[in-house]
Amino acid sequence: MAQQQSERSFLPHFIIKQMDGASMTEVFVAKEGEMANGDRRIISHEGVEVGVFFWEEKYYAYSNICLHQGGPACEGLLIHQVEDVLRPDRSFKQQKFSETDINFVCPWHGYEYDLKTGSVVADPARRLKPFPIHIRDGNVNVDIK
């Protein structure tokens, strides 16, 4: 169930637009169709690191700085959410892997983040900063500012 694939990108980055007076850089991630399910890229631009995941036909991008102690949050294992299975009387029966929910795990101390929201699984009010993804001319790009 667990997968680990990480690739750092040192490809050129391009400032191609300005929004609301703030500089925003659209940074190349991959060619469309190049990333397989569960793949990720770590994009670095001017000191900002972003983890970009491809999961079930969608892209997700988050800050690569763990909310715990600043570890590389997006570079650990992908693992399906572990769920408790209860009996009808609500007593514990067993645990199983979720078929729909997937998390990535910070490799330093194991903080788990929901891949689809960037929220800390144990404290969903806290979440990694998300970054917008755009597909333009067959290229998958992330906006970094």
Q: Which part of the chain contacts ligand FES (CB under 6 A), choosing from 10-18, 30-38, 50-58, 64-72?
A: 64-72
**Is 104 an interacting residue with respect to ligand FES (CB under 6 A)?**
no
Binding flag, residue 71, ligand FES (CB under 6 A): yes
Phi, psi (rounded to 5 degrees) for 75: -105, 5
In the Cβ-directed half-sphere of 97, how many Cα atoms lie within 13 Å? Answer: 8
Per CB under 6 A, 121 contacts ligand FES: no
Shortest CB 120 distance to ligand FES, Å? 10
What's the DSSP call for residue 76?
S
Interface with ligand FES (CB under 6 A), residue total 11
66 in contact with ligand FES (CB under 6 A)? yes
- Please tell me whether residue 111 binds ligand FES under the rule CB under 6 A: yes
Question: Rounded CA gap, 75 and 111, in Å?
Answer: 12
Burial track 1-24 (b if 16+ CB lie within 10 A, e otherwise) = eeeeeeeebeeebeeeeeeeeeee
Q: What residues make contact with ligand FES under the rule CB under 6 A?
A: 66, 68-71, 73, 106, 108-111
